[in-house]
Amino acid sequence: MTRPLETVKKTAMNTFLVLLFAASLEVGGDALVRWGLKSGRVLGFVLGAGVLFAYGVVVNLPRWDFGRLLGVYIVLFFVLSQVTGILLFGESLPMGRWVGGALVVAGGICMMVWK
């Protein structure tokens, strides 16, 4: 028999993984659209649209209330988008983005633990 705390931990981890996958889809879809815009290739728009549609489905799979779900999701999206900007587009992070990012992460933590 699974103990209640173990069930809660498994559910939280599954939700985290689903949201991480959704953030990867959104960042990837946005990067494909950006590639389409910069290169003029229609394939970027088509692939980007498909990936962004998949994101919309995946992000809504967890059974949290909508505000909490997307509030926590924004943290993952922010972190992944910054990493993608650095690795794929050669961007740097100015101090304002570090400070703003810290506030975004702190807000996500509050939404996760504060009931």
pLDDT tens digits, residue range 3-23?
676 776 777 788 889 989 999
Q: What is the pTM of this model?
A: 0.77
Residue 104: predicted pLDDT: 95
Burial degree of 72 (CB within 10 A; 0-12, 13-18, 19+):
buried
Question: Where do the structural domains in the chain lie, given as residue ranges?
Answer: 4-113
Q: Are 55 and 22 within 8 A, CB to CB?
A: yes
pLDDT in tens, 37-75: 999 999 999 999 999 999 999 988 888 788 888 888 899
Per the CB < 8 A criterion, the answer to whether 36 and 44 are in contact is yes
Q: Would you state the pLDDT for residue 112?
A: 79
Instruction: Please compute, for residue 17, the number of CA atoms within 13 A of its CA located in the half-sphere on the CB side.
Output: 6
